[in-house]
Amino acid sequence: MIEGQGCKSTKKVLQHRDYLRLLRYKRYHGKPYDLTISIPPMEPMSIDFLIFPLVEELDVIGPFEVFGKLKDVSENHGNLRILAPAEVTVCKHGLRILRTTFLDSENCGSILVVPGGKGTREPSEERSAVIDYIRATHTAYKIILSVCTGTFLLDEAGILRNKVCTTHTRFQKELKQKGYSVVHNRVVHDGKVITSTGVTSGIDASLYVVAFMCGKALTEQVIHRIEYPFSADEILEMVHVVPTDDQEML
Protein backbone atom coordinates (compact mmCIF):
# COMPACT_ATOMS: atom_id res chain seq x y z
CA MET A 1 0.00 0.00 0.00
CA ILE A 2 1.30 3.49 -0.83
CA GLU A 3 2.36 5.45 2.21
CA GLY A 4 -0.55 7.57 3.36
CA GLN A 5 -3.02 5.74 1.10
CA GLY A 6 -5.01 4.32 4.01
CA CYS A 7 -6.04 0.81 4.99
CA LYS A 8 -7.98 -1.62 2.84
CA SER A 9 -11.10 -1.07 4.91
CA THR A 10 -11.14 2.58 3.82
CA LYS A 11 -10.32 2.14 0.13
CA LYS A 12 -10.33 5.29 -1.90
CA VAL A 13 -12.28 5.15 -5.12
CA LEU A 14 -9.86 6.30 -7.81
CA GLN A 15 -10.34 7.53 -11.32
CA HIS A 16 -8.76 5.41 -14.07
CA ARG A 17 -5.85 7.82 -14.51
CA ASP A 18 -5.05 7.46 -10.80
CA TYR A 19 -5.03 3.69 -11.21
CA LEU A 20 -2.44 4.09 -13.96
CA ARG A 21 -0.36 6.29 -11.65
CA LEU A 22 -0.35 3.49 -9.09
CA LEU A 23 0.98 1.08 -11.69
CA ARG A 24 3.75 3.52 -12.56
CA TYR A 25 4.55 4.14 -8.89
CA LYS A 26 5.55 0.57 -8.32
CA ARG A 27 7.49 0.36 -11.57
CA TYR A 28 9.59 3.44 -10.90
CA HIS A 29 9.82 3.43 -7.08
CA GLY A 30 9.82 -0.27 -6.32
CA LYS A 31 7.27 0.18 -3.55
CA PRO A 32 4.10 -1.83 -3.09
CA TYR A 33 0.70 -0.35 -3.69
CA ASP A 34 -2.86 -1.38 -3.00
CA LEU A 35 -4.22 -3.30 -5.97
CA THR A 36 -7.53 -3.82 -4.20
CA ILE A 37 -8.60 -0.27 -5.06
CA SER A 38 -12.08 0.18 -6.46
CA ILE A 39 -12.51 1.41 -10.01
CA PRO A 40 -15.59 3.56 -10.70
CA PRO A 41 -18.38 1.89 -12.68
CA MET A 42 -18.01 2.38 -16.42
CA GLU A 43 -20.46 2.66 -19.23
CA PRO A 44 -21.09 -0.66 -21.00
CA MET A 45 -18.12 -1.54 -23.19
CA SER A 46 -18.27 -2.84 -26.73
CA ILE A 47 -15.27 -4.93 -27.78
CA ASP A 48 -14.65 -5.20 -31.52
CA PHE A 49 -12.61 -8.08 -32.95
CA LEU A 50 -11.20 -7.23 -36.38
CA ILE A 51 -10.59 -10.37 -38.43
CA PHE A 52 -9.33 -11.29 -41.89
CA PRO A 53 -8.37 -14.45 -43.86
CA LEU A 54 -5.62 -16.61 -42.32
CA VAL A 55 -5.90 -14.92 -38.94
CA GLU A 56 -4.46 -17.01 -36.08
CA GLU A 57 -7.36 -18.65 -34.25
CA LEU A 58 -6.18 -18.20 -30.66
CA ASP A 59 -5.31 -14.54 -31.29
CA VAL A 60 -9.06 -14.04 -31.65
CA ILE A 61 -10.54 -16.73 -29.40
CA GLY A 62 -8.25 -16.08 -26.39
CA PRO A 63 -9.24 -12.41 -25.98
CA PHE A 64 -12.84 -13.23 -26.97
CA GLU A 65 -13.07 -15.70 -24.09
CA VAL A 66 -11.59 -13.23 -21.59
CA PHE A 67 -13.97 -10.43 -22.53
CA GLY A 68 -16.82 -12.91 -22.75
CA LYS A 69 -16.17 -14.00 -19.17
CA LEU A 70 -16.09 -10.33 -18.18
CA LYS A 71 -19.64 -10.16 -19.52
CA ASP A 72 -20.52 -13.18 -17.37
CA VAL A 73 -19.29 -11.60 -14.14
CA SER A 74 -20.45 -8.03 -14.79
CA GLU A 75 -23.74 -6.82 -16.21
CA ASN A 76 -22.19 -3.57 -17.42
CA HIS A 77 -19.45 -4.95 -19.64
CA GLY A 78 -18.80 -7.19 -22.57
CA ASN A 79 -20.75 -6.52 -25.78
CA LEU A 80 -18.62 -8.56 -28.21
CA ARG A 81 -18.67 -8.00 -31.98
CA ILE A 82 -16.85 -9.68 -34.87
CA LEU A 83 -15.88 -7.14 -37.53
CA ALA A 84 -14.80 -8.47 -40.91
CA PRO A 85 -14.81 -7.53 -44.60
CA ALA A 86 -16.45 -10.85 -45.50
CA GLU A 87 -19.47 -12.66 -44.09
CA VAL A 88 -17.35 -15.77 -43.37
CA THR A 89 -13.65 -15.65 -42.55
CA VAL A 90 -11.45 -18.76 -42.78
CA CYS A 91 -8.70 -18.72 -40.16
CA LYS A 92 -5.15 -20.12 -40.41
CA HIS A 93 -6.10 -23.67 -39.34
CA GLY A 94 -9.51 -23.81 -40.99
CA LEU A 95 -11.82 -22.44 -38.32
CA ARG A 96 -14.63 -20.42 -39.89
CA ILE A 97 -15.87 -17.34 -38.07
CA LEU A 98 -19.08 -15.54 -38.93
CA ARG A 99 -19.15 -11.77 -39.08
CA THR A 100 -21.59 -10.05 -36.72
CA THR A 101 -20.89 -6.44 -37.72
CA PHE A 102 -19.88 -4.72 -40.96
CA LEU A 103 -16.80 -2.49 -41.12
CA ASP A 104 -18.43 0.84 -40.39
CA SER A 105 -16.29 3.77 -39.31
CA GLU A 106 -19.38 5.44 -37.85
CA ASN A 107 -20.14 2.51 -35.53
CA CYS A 108 -17.06 1.94 -33.38
CA GLY A 109 -16.94 0.19 -30.04
CA SER A 110 -14.82 0.96 -26.98
CA ILE A 111 -11.96 -1.48 -27.54
CA LEU A 112 -10.53 -2.75 -30.81
CA VAL A 113 -8.74 -6.12 -30.83
CA VAL A 114 -6.40 -6.63 -33.80
CA PRO A 115 -5.14 -10.23 -34.01
CA GLY A 116 -2.18 -11.51 -35.99
CA GLY A 117 -1.35 -14.54 -38.08
CA LYS A 118 -0.23 -15.40 -41.58
CA GLY A 119 -2.92 -13.13 -43.01
CA THR A 120 -1.08 -10.06 -41.74
CA ARG A 121 1.75 -10.82 -44.15
CA GLU A 122 -0.13 -11.96 -47.26
CA PRO A 123 -1.73 -9.33 -49.52
CA SER A 124 -5.51 -9.54 -49.90
CA GLU A 125 -8.46 -7.22 -50.38
CA GLU A 126 -9.65 -8.09 -46.89
CA ARG A 127 -6.27 -7.23 -45.37
CA SER A 128 -6.31 -3.84 -47.10
CA ALA A 129 -9.86 -3.20 -45.87
CA VAL A 130 -8.80 -4.00 -42.30
CA ILE A 131 -5.87 -1.57 -42.46
CA ASP A 132 -8.10 1.13 -43.89
CA TYR A 133 -10.57 0.56 -41.06
CA ILE A 134 -7.87 0.90 -38.39
CA ARG A 135 -6.58 4.07 -40.02
CA ALA A 136 -10.05 5.59 -40.20
CA THR A 137 -11.26 4.68 -36.71
CA HIS A 138 -8.31 4.51 -34.33
CA THR A 139 -9.08 7.87 -32.71
CA ALA A 140 -12.59 6.70 -31.83
CA TYR A 141 -11.48 3.73 -29.72
CA LYS A 142 -10.42 4.04 -26.08
CA ILE A 143 -8.04 1.08 -26.35
CA ILE A 144 -6.48 -0.64 -29.36
CA LEU A 145 -5.10 -4.06 -28.48
CA SER A 146 -2.97 -5.98 -30.95
CA VAL A 147 -2.00 -9.62 -30.56
CA CYS A 148 1.08 -11.19 -32.13
CA THR A 149 1.82 -9.82 -35.63
CA GLY A 150 -1.31 -7.71 -35.53
CA THR A 151 1.23 -5.04 -34.54
CA PHE A 152 2.28 -4.84 -38.21
CA LEU A 153 -1.26 -3.93 -39.22
CA LEU A 154 -1.12 -1.06 -36.74
CA ASP A 155 2.17 -0.03 -38.32
CA GLU A 156 0.70 0.01 -41.82
CA ALA A 157 -2.28 1.97 -40.54
CA GLY A 158 0.15 4.59 -39.27
CA ILE A 159 -0.79 4.54 -35.59
CA LEU A 160 2.48 3.23 -34.12
CA ARG A 161 4.47 6.42 -34.68
CA ASN A 162 6.68 7.17 -31.65
CA LYS A 163 5.25 4.19 -29.81
CA VAL A 164 7.09 1.58 -27.78
CA CYS A 165 5.68 -1.79 -28.81
CA THR A 166 6.19 -5.52 -29.21
CA THR A 167 5.12 -8.45 -31.38
CA HIS A 168 5.76 -12.19 -31.73
CA THR A 169 9.38 -12.89 -30.81
CA ARG A 170 10.05 -14.31 -34.30
CA PHE A 171 9.23 -10.92 -35.82
CA GLN A 172 10.65 -8.50 -33.25
CA LYS A 173 13.82 -7.95 -35.28
CA GLU A 174 11.74 -7.00 -38.32
CA LEU A 175 9.73 -4.57 -36.20
CA LYS A 176 12.94 -2.98 -34.89
CA GLN A 177 14.17 -2.57 -38.45
CA LYS A 178 11.14 -0.39 -39.07
CA GLY A 179 12.55 2.01 -36.48
CA TYR A 180 10.40 1.15 -33.49
CA SER A 181 11.51 0.76 -29.89
CA VAL A 182 10.70 -2.88 -29.21
CA VAL A 183 10.73 -4.41 -25.72
CA HIS A 184 10.50 -8.08 -24.77
CA ASN A 185 7.67 -7.90 -22.25
CA ARG A 186 4.66 -10.01 -23.15
CA VAL A 187 2.49 -6.89 -23.03
CA VAL A 188 3.38 -3.24 -23.75
CA HIS A 189 1.08 -0.31 -22.96
CA ASP A 190 1.84 3.01 -24.66
CA GLY A 191 -0.97 5.58 -24.73
CA LYS A 192 -4.14 3.97 -26.01
CA VAL A 193 -2.17 1.27 -27.85
CA ILE A 194 -1.48 -2.08 -26.18
CA THR A 195 0.66 -4.60 -28.07
CA SER A 196 1.51 -8.16 -27.09
CA THR A 197 3.82 -10.96 -28.19
CA GLY A 198 2.77 -14.30 -29.67
CA VAL A 199 -0.62 -16.01 -29.58
CA THR A 200 -1.20 -16.84 -25.88
CA SER A 201 -0.05 -13.37 -24.81
CA GLY A 202 -3.37 -12.11 -26.15
CA ILE A 203 -4.98 -13.65 -23.08
CA ASP A 204 -2.52 -11.84 -20.81
CA ALA A 205 -3.09 -8.56 -22.65
CA SER A 206 -6.86 -8.92 -22.42
CA LEU A 207 -6.71 -9.63 -18.69
CA TYR A 208 -4.54 -6.55 -18.32
CA VAL A 209 -7.16 -4.48 -20.13
CA VAL A 210 -9.80 -5.84 -17.77
CA ALA A 211 -7.61 -4.89 -14.78
CA PHE A 212 -6.91 -1.45 -16.18
CA MET A 213 -10.46 -0.64 -17.21
CA CYS A 214 -12.44 -2.48 -14.52
CA GLY A 215 -10.16 -3.13 -11.56
CA LYS A 216 -8.58 -6.08 -9.83
CA ALA A 217 -11.70 -7.63 -8.32
CA LEU A 218 -13.38 -8.29 -11.67
CA THR A 219 -10.07 -9.45 -13.14
CA GLU A 220 -9.70 -12.08 -10.42
CA GLN A 221 -13.24 -13.28 -11.12
CA VAL A 222 -12.45 -13.68 -14.82
CA ILE A 223 -9.17 -15.48 -13.99
CA HIS A 224 -11.07 -17.86 -11.71
CA ARG A 225 -13.69 -18.57 -14.38
CA ILE A 226 -11.11 -19.47 -17.06
CA GLU A 227 -8.81 -21.23 -14.53
CA TYR A 228 -5.83 -19.19 -15.69
CA PRO A 229 -2.51 -19.96 -13.94
CA PHE A 230 -1.55 -16.31 -13.30
CA SER A 231 -3.02 -13.91 -10.77
CA ALA A 232 -3.97 -10.31 -11.53
CA ASP A 233 -0.77 -9.19 -9.80
CA GLU A 234 1.31 -11.48 -12.02
CA ILE A 235 -0.46 -10.20 -15.12
CA LEU A 236 0.35 -6.62 -14.15
CA GLU A 237 4.00 -7.53 -13.62
CA MET A 238 4.21 -8.74 -17.24
CA VAL A 239 3.32 -5.32 -18.61
CA HIS A 240 5.74 -2.62 -19.70
CA VAL A 241 3.86 0.64 -19.12
CA VAL A 242 5.23 3.64 -21.00
CA PRO A 243 4.81 6.93 -19.09
CA THR A 244 2.32 9.14 -20.90
CA ASP A 245 0.08 12.12 -20.27
CA ASP A 246 -3.22 11.14 -18.69
CA GLN A 247 -5.21 12.83 -21.44
CA GLU A 248 -3.54 10.57 -24.00
CA MET A 249 -4.48 7.53 -21.98
CA LEU A 250 -8.18 8.19 -21.66
Percentage of residues in the chain having pLDDT higher than 90: 75
pLDDT in the model for residue 76 = 65
Its pTM surpasses 0.85:
no
Burial class (CB in 10 A: 0-12, 13-18, 19+), 125: exposed
Q: What is the pLDDT of residues 39-85, one digit of tens each?
A: 455 567 899 999 999 999 999 999 999 999 998 998 767 689 999 99
DSSP codes, 11-79? PPB--HHHHHHHHHHHHHH-----TTPBPPP-PPPEEEEE--TT--HHHHHHHHHHHHHHHHH-TTS-E
| Pair 195, 146: CB distance under 8 Å | yes
| Pair 32, 176: CB distance under 8 Å | no
Task: Name which residue leads in pLDDT, 142 or 77.
Answer: 142
Domains annotated for the chain, with CATH where assigned, are: 41-249 (3.40.50.880)
Q: What is the pLDDT of residues 144-166, one digit of tens each?
A: 999 999 999 999 999 999 999 99
Distance CA 242, CA 8 (A): 28
Distance CA 40, CA 3 (A): 22
> Is the pLDDT reported for residue 127 higher than 90?
yes
Q: What is the pLDDT of residues 226-249, one digit of tens each?
A: 999 999 999 999 999 998 754 344
